[in-house]
A and B are shown apart, each in its own frame.
Chain A
């Protein structure tokens, strides 16, 4: 019996209360535990990904109960990759937090951070849809705590909107779970996959409602138009490192859509046809358009980046909505890219913010540490706008390539390419105003721009950009791997049999399968 699969969830779940219990007044100790925790997550992520890389589907039966009666964790290629991505992001964000001393600006940062990680890891690893709800709650409440960390009127107001809107999502999730349980009598994803196939074509309303409501829940998390409205101000007002960590949160929504709509409601499933297989693409196109227009419209740098996040989620969704192995592979490649790019941009925004009165896109005196910050911004903006040579460009090529043969190819290409142009123009304007025009403005005598960002902050941002470069250079192996993930997703038999046929407590060979 090995327990590695659950450790990414349990480790933060033990660290966080421990910090609250024993070290809540000692920021130094908290930092040590937090850092050790996220570093261990990387090792775990690597080990799990290596385990899953040969196609093995690891399962972990909580309480020793066999699926579908107990809760089950599943580690396949997709979920372990997401775990690793989260861990890597968490480490760099943590470094930045310590470097910028954000954790000292309020209470319980590290405990909330660990709880947040627990929620994200749980969402990626669980094989049970109700348990997914629980982890959504964990990550929502922890993220709310992180979001309002440090306080301030604008932040608290944005935080209230964030948590209220997401509570609407949680309520909807409960409706959807009620619907899906009433329709199928189960909550385990693999079991759902089996039972959804048993739905008669003469009574499809129930399952259609469940499928649509569930999609909307995930769409809120993934910030798909028109359910994205919560994102711009929350991400813009959140503390820099928190916004950077949130780069993975929208991906939780994307992950859930990939998981549920390849495993449970595959595109060729008759009773749920004509819904997500059609409308998701429309929404994704709208998301790309809105994100890019928002980037152009934004008057402040932080909002601009927030809209860029929406736009990149649109790209991810576009690729997912093709519902082909090629599309999913492209989406996954782009997802990794988008996470790293968004995180680095938010951190850079935070660096700029520290020595300016506000983040309006108007020239003021040069910020402290302007030259290295400008260089980092230039790179991150290139990545976000999807220009060569960074992975955004490759991801875009993959998506365009994957959409060949789709009926909506002209729409997809136009939206993606024109969207990129808009974001190039917008980022060019922003960068030249913030970093170039600033050179022509003399520093007022009475203003102290404060110290330049710390070395550790630069290490964190540099690390993210370094990962983007690695994501570009090793695009070949990475895309090969995302393709193998997509293949696994589109051949879920191994997943389903492994989950449903592994016996647990009180299982007899007869009822081991659960039917």
Chain B
């Protein structure tokens, strides 16, 4: 079967359990089993080529530019691991079917399990190391889901997060390591990388790469000091513990070290790091395991210890070490998975995993007792079982290993670990199955059905078979070892034998087993000493680390983002000024190319007024009305400035904008307190003053600089000046720029105006539908109200003046193309005409005479402008292309007809609509506050008002 399919099957099959969940537990587990079985058989079809020493590869490009390709390869090592993953996976699925209770969502469980299986198979079959990383992190993620499967248990959630954090960290470090490795070699394909041992080890980046990759491997395989997550992962359902956290996932780190062995091993750095970490882990795990009471905890720490053992073997860098490591991987997977499943059975039947509450189970659960005892004896390294064989090889290897120039260090530690290993294994047997029968088990223990004991029994048969007849697997182990070694070392000539003669390893082994027995006998004493010894608790440290990071992060982030706008503005201003200053001082200023003009008295006076108004604004801004007046002065002075510099269009625009804005702002101020409260401290104001002054000087410097210098080439405005009449049909260049040269900008800006009005309307609407409405209704004005709301003089005057103003607007609009004026200004003038009516006679009266809703006016204006633009498509010209012609209708003079005028009409409408909609929105707020708004144009008849009030 294609390797693609072997990897893909579990992923595709992961959809099935969820789907079949409804159909019952058997159907659900059945499909899962079939999926795994298909992949397993697929793997076996490749066995002949593996046995023949071939490497099966397939691949397709994924991201060739990066070098990340979907390439898979199957050699002895890959086959070995895939065989374990899929084979044990089958047993686990069968076991889990009977283990999970009816309350557990089996579909979810098997979905996660298959995802994990696929990811794991992916790791061991990847040829591309970046692809391997993808699968690597996927195992972390699926493991996260599986550990947290019982979501209601806090241990599950915490264990899941801890595992994710630790293995995630390793995975991220490994990304770095793999990228460096790929950069050194120039390829991310393992098949290429493995050929370049010398290149890699000579590279200065070898050590960083090694460190990063080992960080990944150590975290995944729970090596010291990252071993602490594994015991907490035991909160997962037991099938998960058996599968992920003993037989497969935690071996991914081991796999990686074995995979990279040909190119990374053999250096002093590798030896010290790998063997060192392995030795410490091996001893530490074994010692802790002896003193744990939870069956799964004992097994978890023993797994840590055994992983350390394998790591240590890989670290020695010798062919024999690798040989022993491969063999122990196989043996450990068999006996440890069996042990976990047995522990699960005990938990399932007695409802406890606490070893202190157990004992005497050999009579009640004989089948389980046999299975577990054999597996535990294998773990202890008792002859005729497979654990003995590989442990002997480990001890043999340790006698050959000299660390820190001390010949006894490694053998002593290895023996010590083996001793404790024997100790906890014996304790497991003794305290669970032996001793007197008790009458206080949480549930009545009895052997489970075949479904639960079948899978571990099968594994135990393997344990015994390999233990008695190691030659059955020897060839296979050698093929695997050969693929670990690659071209780096020769396959060792050793054989796996039960009897090696009276070699040191035998004595060490004897010492270990004997010592183990003594440990069990002395256990209660030792336990007391252990309990009395203070020890760092990994979970406490981990939690404290995380929460201190969180509080550190909070103290950094939260004060900065506290929502104070003045602070945000200060940050922005300081950044802008600072960056501008940096650009300024690092540049070359160059000489001025223009002479400054002399300051005339008029200009000086205007300047003085601007300055005075600005200062006034700064000092009087708490009085909002005064502030508005000051702003009005600034605006008017700017308009005057435009006049002074011969820009009548701008002046007119600015002037009308000022008028309309002030009216609208006055209306808005109506709803606000008269004064703004003091919200800042003196310190804040001093800070702001500094920032503001710096900003002011910056702006001045900029203006000074640019005004005295010509552009590097002729400005485009020259073209506009030269061609406004010829190409745009108008002599008012400003207007031609607005409606023709850059009509598209104007189009955008009227849309901005329209949106602004729409959103003011929407905002008002929201306010009136919310709690603000009540506040408005109950508002007591802080200023005395005028006696007559609609004074007669004003009403009369505005009525009379309205047609005049409209006429002016029309005139300004019409002349716009050639003389100062245009749609924008005209729109504002027309708005003023209407606004006056509102001011004079109030909202109700004015709006009841409204024939076209302002929304519609805005929409129509923008549409008209847009459609004018589209109109030019019909003559095959781009959007907004203008055309004009001159016509003469006697008795008038010749006049111009320009399409730009229609566009300008759109502008006019949009401006009128926007201004009026804004006004209307504000008025709606006002009307809600004063419900007495009259529907009559004037307040001339006191009796009428009274009668309205009575009626109301």
Binding site for B on A (CB under 8 A): 1, 3, 6, 10, 13-14, 16-22, 24, 60-65, 68-71, 106-108, 111-112, 115, 118, 122, 130-131, 134-135, 137-138, 141-142, 144-145, 148-152, 156-158, 160-161, 164-165, 168, 172, 175, 178-179, 181-188, 191, 195, 198-209, 211-213, 215-216, 220, 226-227, 229-230, 232-233, 271, 274-275, 279, 290, 293-294, 296-299, 307, 329, 378, 382, 387-389, 393-394, 396-398, 400-401, 404, 413, 417-418, 420-422, 424-425, 428-429, 432, 435-437, 439-440, 475-476, 479-480, 483, 505-506, 514-515
Contact = CB atoms under 8 A, between A and B. Distances in A.
A476 B156 CA distance: 38
Contacts of B633: none
Interface string B575-610: 110011011101111110000000000000000000
Contacts of B130: 397
A62 B745 CA distance: 10
Contacts of B151: 435-437, 439-440
A420 B137 CA distance: 12
B157 A432 contact: yes
In terms of DSSP, what is the predominant structure of the interface of chain B?
helix
A296 B549 contact: yes
Interface in B734-753: 740-745, 747-749, 751-752
B565 interface: yes
Contact of A186 (B179, B716, B752, B762): B716
Given A63-B744, A233-B563, 11 more contacts: A14-B867, A21-B859, A63-B882, A107-B765, A134-B752, A151-B769, A161-B565, A182-B709, A215-B579, A220-B572, A388-B134
B196 interface: no
A216 B134 CA distance: 37
15 contacts: A10-B866, A17-B866, A62-B879, A69-B719, A181-B715, A200-B712, A208-B587, A209-B580, A213-B579, A294-B557, A401-B67, A417-B173, A425-B168, A439-B152, A476-B65
Nearest to A205: B587
Nearest to A126: B744
A199 B161 contact: no
B58 interface: no
Contacts of B522: none
Interface in B866-907: 866-867, 869-870, 872-873, 876-882
Given A64-B878, A151-B769, A134 B759 contact: no
Contacts of A135: 748
Given A63-B881, A202-B590, A393 B137 contact: yes
A294 B557 CA distance: 6
A157 B572 CA distance: 19
A138 B748 contact: yes
A142 to B, nearest CB: 5
A274 B140 CA distance: 43
Interface in B112-141: 130, 133-138, 140-141
A202 to B, nearest CB: 5
B741 A164 contact: no
Contacts of B733: none
B781 interface: no
B568 A230 contact: yes
Nearest to A199: B712
A-B pairs with the 7 shortest C-beta distances?
Answer: A203-B590, A21-B859, A185-B715, A185-B711, A151-B766, A145-B759, A182-B706
B169 interface: yes
Contact of B748 (A131, A148, A200): A131
A396 B878 CA distance: 43
A145 B767 contact: no
A216 B755 contact: no
A380 to B, nearest CB: 13
Given A182-B706, A213-B580, A137 B748 contact: yes
Interface of B: 61-68, 130, 133-138, 140-141, 144-145, 148, 151-152, 154, 156-157, 160-161, 164-165, 168-169, 172-173, 175-176, 179, 183, 546, 549-550, 553-554, 556-558, 560-561, 563, 565, 567-569, 571-573, 575-576, 579-580, 582-584, 586-591, 699, 702, 705-707, 709, 711-717, 719-720, 723, 726-727, 740-745, 747-749, 751-752, 754-756, 758-759, 761-763, 765-767, 769-770, 855-856, 858-863, 866-867, 869-870, 872-873, 876-882
Contact of A184 (B569, B713, B873): B713
B478 to A, nearest CB: 34
A195 B173 CA distance: 47
Contact of B553 (A183, A216, A293, A397): A293
Contacts of A208: 583-584, 586-587
Contacts of B872: 64
Contacts, number: 390
B141 A387 contact: yes
Contact of A138 (B141, B164, B752): B752
Contacts of A111: 758
A229 B590 contact: no
B715 A151 contact: no
Contact of A506 (B157, B727, B756, B866): B727
B749 A134 contact: yes
A137 B137 contact: no
B176 A164 contact: no
Contacts of B549: 296, 422
A475 B715 contact: no
B557 A185 contact: no
B770 A151 contact: yes
B741 A211 contact: no
Given A205-B584, A229-B560, A397-B66, A1 B862 contact: no
Q: Which of A16, A62, A137, A216 is most buried by chain B, counting CB atoms within 10 A of its CB? A: A62
Contact of B590 (A187, A204, A220): A204
Given A186-B713, A232-B561, A388-B137, A63 B720 contact: no
Contact of A178 (B572, B706, B714): B706
Contacts of A188: 716
Contacts of A506: 723, 726-727
Contacts of B135: 388
A202 B715 contact: no
